[in-house]
Amino acid sequence: MPMRVLAFLTLLLLLTGCGSTPSGLRIAGSTSVQPVAERLAEGYRRAGGSRVIVQGGGSTAGVQAVLSGIAAMGAISRSLTPEESEQGLVSHTIGYDVLTVVVHPENPLAQRGLTLAELRAIFRGDVTDWVQLGGRPGPIHLVTREAGSGSREAFRSLVGPVSPRAIVQNSAGGIRAAVMGNPQAIGYVSLGVARMGGVAALAVDGHRPGEVGYPLVRPLSLVTLGQPRGEAAAFLRYIRSPEARQVLAEEGLVPG
Amino acid sequence: MTDLWGRLRREAAVRAVLLLCALGASAAVLLIAFFVVAEGWPALGALPGARWDPEEGHFGVQAMVWGSLAVTGGALLLAVPAGVGMALFLTEVAPPSLALVVRPLLQSLAGVPSVVYGFVGLQVLVPAIRRALGGPGFSVLAGACVLAVMILPTIAAIAEDALRAVPVAYREGAVALGATQWQVVRRILLPAARSGLITAVVLGLGRALGETMAVMMVTGNVAAPPGSILDPVRTLTGNIAMEMGYAVGRHREALFASGALLLAMVMALNAAARRVGR
């Protein structure tokens, strides 16, 4: 019951909100984009723009929201499918999220890095001891995110499935803490979190995270139906500004 | 005469207010139970399965039931002897001046937010277990230790009350017959305070089974039944807290259904303990 009531009140607020601020811009979609988009919305407002409302729901929900006209822009953390592009959706990449594989700084493999194939075998649970990779003998402790998390989905699509025996933490901070305290652990976080220190970011296939050629990268984009007009175009222009690029960098994104 | 009527009216008003309070509390419990069961109803049938994998449409909570029971059981094993021991110390052994220092310290444990326990567990306990005993450190043992500290003040406080309620004449009688202090405790105090001690255990158990945040931070949350106390586990509460944010459709229903299951488990354990206590 409380959920229903809450949902109803939220809807009411949203609907009335729509009526009173006809110039507001609504963005719905990927929960991975949400925190960045919220910070960009704040900056946009401070720079004299109108109010931007950012909602989650996932990439596909964002695409649906744009197609049905509920939101002016959708946020996606994947590429548009051919079918979606055919319906007239245009995607504007705002930056690249760099998925960073982290280990304890004392792990000898922190220097050498791993190949994508090794990473896949480790997280699938086929390689279970560091000695198999030329490291110090000892079991590998996998750390992953919970079902539904954007990072987990990205990791699944870029690397592969994760063993059900992996330890689950429900935040990037939790993964960092687990890896910091355990020389045998390996996990994945976004580059911004990896740079907070205490963990070593691994090179994958010889490329350090953030470098050109690093494979674990996914585009974060905003989509519009047709070419962006009005508020949407202005917001996209703001995202290209030096101030917005600074925000993207702070959130661990590589500007597009 | 009028004074009497006034007093009676006031009495009636107070009665009505108290009745309303009682009704409000019971109504809240019933409403919550109804809501949780209604939301989870369609997924109840999926819960007995062994595999939890929402991405593939598997919603079996067996592993989490074992996880909750293992962590809670471990916590009780640690906290009940310690809590009852502390209560005995405070009532029978400690000089009053020492008890005056120890008791507030013990009770202040109850006021520490659970996330703080979880954080200390994550930073200190988990690495310590990994270094000393092996495994990943995130484990049944870590969860049980953190929970034990959390429920200790509850158990100790209620056990102390129960022991104090035992009439002094019992103690005096036993001592007069030549019983040692340990014999008094074992043969007289503990049996006489039994019902209160069981209440202490039940309240501790309820809190342990329902605790979420601190446990989630230190148990590793692997949705598989633990093979040893050094294996990571996921509890029912941790599972709900972790996945509720994203869950939609059947997944969301399954989480509500596991909430209903948790409610049923707590009620059943309470009822069982009450029966034993009588």
| Residue to test with chain A: of B242, B244, B251, B255, most A Cβ within 10 A | B242
User: What is the pLDDT at residue A255?
Assistant: 74
**Shortest Cα–Cα distance, A117 to chain B (Å):** 23
CB atoms within 10 A of CB B194: 14
Q: Average pLDDT over chain A, rounded to whole?
A: 86
Nearest residue to B52 (alpha-carbon basis) of B204, B212, B225? B225
Instruction: Judge: B222–A148 Cβ closer than 8 Å, yes or no.
Output: no
Indicate the residue of B126, B130, B243 with minimum beta-carbon distance to A148.
Answer: B243
Give the distance, in angstroms, between the CA of residue A56 and the centroid of all CA atoms in the same chain. Answer: 12
Residues in chain B within 8 Å Cβ distance of A178: 122, 126, 138
User: What is the pLDDT at residue B2?
Assistant: 64
Instruction: Judge: B216–A3 Cβ closer than 8 Å, yes or no.
Output: no
**Shortest Cα–Cα distance, B250 to chain A (Å):** 13
Instruction: Judge: A167–B31 Cβ closer than 8 Å, yes or no.
Output: no
Q: Is residue A55 over pLDDT 60?
A: yes
The 8-class DSSP code of residue A252 comes to T
Q: Is residue A7 over pLDDT 70?
A: no
Among A residues 36-65, those touching chain B with beta carbons less than 8 Å apart: 58
In this prediction, what percent of chain A has a pLDDT beyond 70?
91
**Helix, strand, or coil (residue A209):** coil
Residues in chain A within 8 Å Cβ distance of B216: 170
**Shortest Cα–Cα distance, B165 to chain A (Å):** 42
Instruction: Judge: A164–B221 Cβ closer than 8 Å, yes or no.
Output: no
CA end-to-end span of chain A: 44
Indicate the residue of A1, A146, A167 with minimum beta-carbon distance to B232.
Answer: A167
Lookup result for tokens 């001891």: A129
Residues in chain A within 8 Å Cβ distance of B126: 178, 181-182
Going by DSSP bridges, is the β-strand pair A167-169/A141-145 parallel, antiparallel, or unpaired?
Answer: parallel
State how far the alpha carbon of A103 is from the alpha carbons of A182, B101, B220, B245, in Å.
Answer: 8, 45, 17, 27
**Shortest Cα–Cα distance, B64 to chain A (Å):** 14
**Shortest Cα–Cα distance, A234 to chain B (Å):** 31
User: What is the pLDDT at residue A5?
Assistant: 53
CB atoms within 10 A of CB A27: 27
Indicate the residue of B54, B123, B232 with minimum beta-carbon distance to A181.
Answer: B123
* Predicted TM-score (pTM) of this structure: 0.78
Q: What's chain B look like in SS3? A: CHHHHHHHHHHHHHHHHHHHHHHHHHHHHHHHHHHHHHHHHHHHHHCCCCCEEHHHCEECCHHHHHHHHHHHHHHHHHHHHHHHHHHHHHHHHCCHHHHHHHHHHHHHHHHCCHHHHHHHHHHHHHHHHHHHHCCCCCCHHHHHHHHHHHHHHHHHHHHHHHHHCCCHHHHHHHHHCCCCHHHHHHHHHHHHCHHHHHHHHHHHHHHHHHCCHHHHHHCECCCCCCCCCCCCECCHHHHHHHHCCCCCHHHHHHHHHHHHHHHHHHHHHHHHHHHHHC
Lowest mean pLDDT among A23-37, A230-244, B17-31, B206-220: A23-37
Indicate the residue of B136, B137, B223 with minimum beta-carbon distance to A164.
Answer: B223
Indicate the residue of A3, A58, A181 with minimum beta-carbon distance to B126.
Answer: A181
- Read off the pLDDT band of A203 (50, 70, 90): very high
Token pair recorded at residue B139: 């484990």
pLDDT digits (tens, 9 = 90+) for B25-69: 999 989 999 999 999 999 988 899 889 988 888 999 999 999 999
ipTM over 0.85: no
Q: Average pLDDT over chain B, rounded to whole?
A: 91
pLDDT digits (tens, 9 = 90+) for B99-123: 899 889 988 888 899 899 999 999 9
Chain A residue nearest residue B233, CA to CA: A167
**Helix, strand, or coil (residue A199):** coil
User: What is the pLDDT at residue A21?
Assistant: 43
Instruction: Judge: B127–A181 Cβ closer than 8 Å, yes or no.
Output: yes
Instruction: Judge: A148–B232 Cβ closer than 8 Å, yes or no.
Output: no
pLDDT digits (tens, 9 = 90+) for B214-258: 999 999 999 988 889 999 999 999 999 988 877 778 888 999 999
- Read off the pLDDT band of A3 (50, 70, 90): low
pLDDT digits (tens, 9 = 90+) for A135-182: 999 999 999 998 877 788 889 989 999 999 999 998 888 899 999 989
User: What is the pLDDT at residue B278?
Assistant: 66
User: What is the pLDDT at residue A16?
Assistant: 47
Nearest residue to B78 (alpha-carbon basis) of B136, B14, B151, B129? B151
Farthest CA pair distance, chain A: 64
- In sequence order, the 6+-apart residues with CB closer than 8 A to the CB of B219 are B67, B71, B138, B139, B140, B142, B143, B232, B233, B234, B235, B238
pLDDT digits (tens, 9 = 90+) for B247-261: 778 888 999 999 999
In this prediction, what percent of chain B has a pLDDT beyond 70?
98
Q: Is residue A38 over pLDDT 70?
A: yes
CB atoms within 10 A of CB B147: 30
Nearest residue to B117 (alpha-carbon basis) of B15, B228, B25, B207? B207
Token pair recorded at residue A227: 């070419």
User: What is the pLDDT at residue B148?
Assistant: 96
Classify the phi-psi angles of A230: left when phi > 0, otherwise alpha if psi is within -120 to 50, otherwise beta: left
Nearest residue to A217 (alpha-carbon basis) of A196, A246, A190, A247? A190
Q: Is residue B203 over pLDDT 50?
A: yes
Q: Is residue A12 over pLDDT 50?
A: no
User: What is the pLDDT at residue A170?
Assistant: 83
Chain A residue nearest residue B37, CA to CA: A1
User: What is the pLDDT at residue B275?
Assistant: 81
Indicate the residue of A146, A167, A169 with minimum beta-carbon distance to B243.
Answer: A146
Indicate the residue of B35, B54, B138 with minimum beta-carbon distance to A147.
Answer: B54
User: What is the pLDDT at residue A149?
Assistant: 76
**Shortest Cα–Cα distance, A240 to chain B (Å):** 31
Lookup result for tokens 């500290």: B149
pLDDT digits (tens, 9 = 90+) for B155-171: 999 999 999 999 999 99
What does the pLDDT average to over B174-192? 92
What does the pLDDT average to over A184-188? 94
User: What is the pLDDT at residue B244?
Assistant: 81
